């Protein structure tokens, strides 16, 4: 054998040699096995391959043919032991086999009540449940904080009463955040009555670290609750608003015996939200009814309406109002607003007072420094020179209308400002106002006096066109005598921006 496998050519990595094929006699079979240590390993491998083929083609098929048909395994099924009741009952001669009883359907999967990451998500879920009259879901949401069957029945009874009286919950997108009171966030779900009027069902929500947001209390306005049967209750005290001892930690909230409270008069947050809503609609007449006009000058409210209209401000949806101080007779509210037009966010303060807990609130102060400052810095983006409320050099505040250089014609944006002033004057014929015209320092003094008078007369002429009696308006021209800003920079060069502030007409609302 070794002689037959001998080859005259030597491979570079082995000393084994092979005999060429053409040198082997043709009557002998050719076995190209290597010589040496590799021959036994190859023989063993060939034997193992033959054994596997024999098992696959003969023995395996014979076993498969002997296996019962119903015992064939499937790729997706996991073999399990049959349940005890799966053995078919013994059939008795003469009796019919009972039909198999279908298993009961699985219970419907209920939507989880908890886990609301945002207050608005909970409010929209409740509004949607009320709109489709899913009282069970609505009651679950209402009582998630205190899963008491008695409270759940209260919620269901009240919701069904509202529906029976013709009130329908508005779509979920109409739910809005009113503001924040201590740790509570208040929402409003609008309900539309048969007469088309809208009443707000208010919800005070608090956040639980394990549950997310939950409802702590409902507030019903009198118009919504006048025909409802609501269990009497004392509303829960709000934690942190009135510590018994200065510096002491806030007391925990007193639990309520019912979810629902009927408000005889709006509380401070609700009152402030309605007031600001009128301002955002530029409804000076309605907003004015919320004022204590002895303590809040009308020009401040008029100026705020003008700023809101020119800047197109809106409340910040996530936290529009924040009640910072609350007591039975005094409250402070911060209104947070934004202007897409001016690309800014700002705020203003509202001070509220009332004479007794059963009396309505009144606005006794408006802190406009932040919003007026923000508006003044951004007004150039909309072509408005400066804020309409200015500090008068002689003291107090006045409304300002601005003019182009060497012009006495009114700017188109002045029309809205003068409409507000005209409405104020027409509401009381005894009221009067003074208008003073001003100029910058360029030009001769006598020319500037005439120009300033013409500017004041332009304002009066427009007010008369809006229905104001001429005797209610007094005008004067002051020329360059009372500048609001320097006409020159500190180095003596011209200051165009400063001069533009001085080309104005001021309206003194000292009625």
How far apart CA 320 and CA 467 sit, in angstroms, is 37
Whether 42 maps to a domain, the answer reads yes
Whether 66 maps to a domain, the answer reads no
**Whether the Cβ atoms of residue 502 and residue 290 lie closer than 8 Å to each other:** no
For 53-93, write each residue's pLDDT tens digit.
555 555 555 545 555 444 444 444 444 445 444 445 554 45
Whether 108 maps to a domain, the answer reads no
Whether 454 maps to a domain, the answer reads yes
User: Residues 398, 497: one domain?
Assistant: yes
Structure-block tokens of residue 341: 């037009």
For 355-392, write each residue's pLDDT tens digit.
998 899 999 999 988 888 888 777 766 665 667 777 76
Which is it for the CA torsion 128, 133, 137, 138, positive or negative? Answer: positive
Whether 83 maps to a domain, the answer reads no
User: Residues 371, 427: one domain?
Assistant: no
Whether 41 maps to a domain, the answer reads yes
Whether 65 maps to a domain, the answer reads no
How far apart CA 189 and CA 176 sit, in angstroms, is 7
Coil, strand or helix: which one is 390? strand
User: Residues 315, 224: one domain?
Assistant: no
User: Residues 432, 480: one domain?
Assistant: yes
User: Residues 417, 361: one domain?
Assistant: no
Find the domain containing 23 and state its range: 9-48
User: Residues 389, 510: one domain?
Assistant: yes
User: Residues 346, 372: one domain?
Assistant: yes
CATH number at residue 174: 3.10.450.50
Q: Each residue of 394-421: b (16+ CB within 10 Å) or e?
A: eeebbbbbbbeeeebebeebbeebbbbb
User: Residues 369, 394: one domain?
Assistant: no
User: Residues 409, 376: one domain?
Assistant: no
Q: Each residue of 332-358: b (16+ CB within 10 Å) or e?
A: bbbbbbbbeebebebbbbbbbbbeeee
* Angle of CA points 323, 326, 330, to nearest 5°: 115
CATH number at residue 457: 3.30.1330.60
Burial of 233 (C-beta count, 10 Å sphere; 0-12/13-18/19+): middle
User: Residues 322, 391: one domain?
Assistant: no
Neighbours of 281 (CB within 10 A): 13
User: Residues 193, 148: one domain?
Assistant: yes
Coil, strand or helix: which one is 258? coil
Nearby residues of 357 by Cβ (< 8 Å), 6 or more positions away: 328, 329
Q: Which residues pair with 367 in a beta bridge?
A: 349
Whether 270 maps to a domain, the answer reads no
What integer pLDDT is reported at residue 86 of this predicted model? Answer: 47
What integer pLDDT is reported at residue 366 of this predicted model? Answer: 92
Which is it for the CA torsion 306, 310, 312, 314, positive or negative? Answer: negative
Domain count of the chain?
A: 4
**Among 211, 154, 200, 153, residue whose Cα is nearest residue 177:** 200
Q: Which residues of the chain have pLDDT under 50?
A: 1-33, 63, 68-81, 83-87, 91-92, 106, 108-109, 233-256, 511
Which pTM does this prediction carry?
0.65
User: Residues 398, 488: one domain?
Assistant: yes
């Amino acid at each position: 054998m070794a002689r037959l496998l001998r080859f005259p050519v030597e491979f570079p990595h082995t000393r084994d040699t092979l005999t060429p094929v053409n040198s082997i006699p043709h009557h002998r079979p050719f076995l190209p096995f290597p010589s040496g240590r590799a021959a036994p390993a190859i023989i063993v491998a060939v034997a193992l391959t033959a054994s596997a083929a024999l098992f696959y083609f003969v023995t395996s098929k014979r076993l498969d043919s002997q296996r019962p048909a119903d015992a064939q395994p499937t790729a997706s099924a996991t073999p399990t032991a049959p349940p005890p009741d799966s053995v078919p009952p013994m059939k008795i001669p003469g009796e019919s086999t009972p039909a198999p009883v279908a298993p009961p359907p699985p219970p419907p999967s209920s939507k989880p009540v908890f886990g609301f990451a945002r207050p608005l998500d909970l409010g929209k879920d409740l509004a949607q449940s009320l709109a489709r009259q899913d009282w069970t879901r609505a009651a679950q949401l209402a009582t998630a904080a205190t899963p008491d069957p008695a409270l759940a029945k209260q919620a269901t009874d009240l919701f069904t009463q509202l529906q029976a009286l013709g009130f329908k919950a508005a779509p979920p997108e109409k739910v809005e955040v009113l503001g924040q009171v201590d740790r509570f966030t208040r929402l409003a779900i609008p309900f539309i009555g048969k007469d088309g009027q809208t009443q707000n069902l208010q919800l005070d929500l608090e956040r639980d670290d394990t549950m997310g947001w939950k409802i702590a209390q409902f507030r019903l306005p009198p118009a919504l609750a006048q025909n409802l049967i609501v269990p009497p209750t004392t509303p829960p005290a709000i934690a942190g608003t009135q510590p018994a001892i200065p510096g002491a930690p806030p007391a925990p909230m007193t639990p309520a015996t019912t979810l629902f409270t009927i408000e005889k008069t709006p509380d401070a947050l609700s009152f402030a939200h309605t007031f600001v809503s009128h301002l955002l609609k530029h409804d000076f007449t309605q907003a004015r009814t919320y004022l204590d006009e002895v303590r809040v000058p009308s020009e401040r409210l008029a100026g705020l309406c003008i700023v809101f209209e020119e800047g197109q401000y809106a409340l910040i949806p996530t936290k529009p109002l924040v009640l910072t101080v609350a007591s039975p007779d005094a409250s402070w509210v911060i209104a947070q607003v934004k202007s897409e037009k001016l690309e800014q966010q700002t705020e203003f303060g509202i001070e509220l007072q009332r004479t007794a807990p059963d009396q309505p609130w009144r606005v006794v102060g408006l802190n406009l420094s932040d919003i007026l400052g923000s508006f003044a810095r951004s007004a150039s983006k909309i072509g408005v020179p400066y804020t309409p409320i200015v500090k008068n050099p002689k003291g107090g505040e006045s409304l300002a209308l601005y003019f182009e250089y060497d012009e006495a014609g009114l700017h188109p944006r002045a029309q809205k400002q003068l409409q507000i002033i005209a409405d104020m004057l027409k509401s009381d014929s005894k009221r009067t106002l003074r208008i003073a015209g001003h100029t910058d320092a360029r030009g001769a003094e006598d020319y500037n006096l005439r120009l300033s008078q013409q500017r004041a007369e332009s304002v009066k002429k427009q007010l008369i066109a809006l229905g104001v009696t001429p005797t209610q308006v007094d005008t004067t021209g002051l020329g360059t005598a009372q500048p609001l800003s320097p006409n020159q920079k500190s180095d003596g060069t011209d200051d165009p921006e400063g001069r533009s502030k001085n080309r104005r007409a001021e309206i003194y609302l000292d009625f």
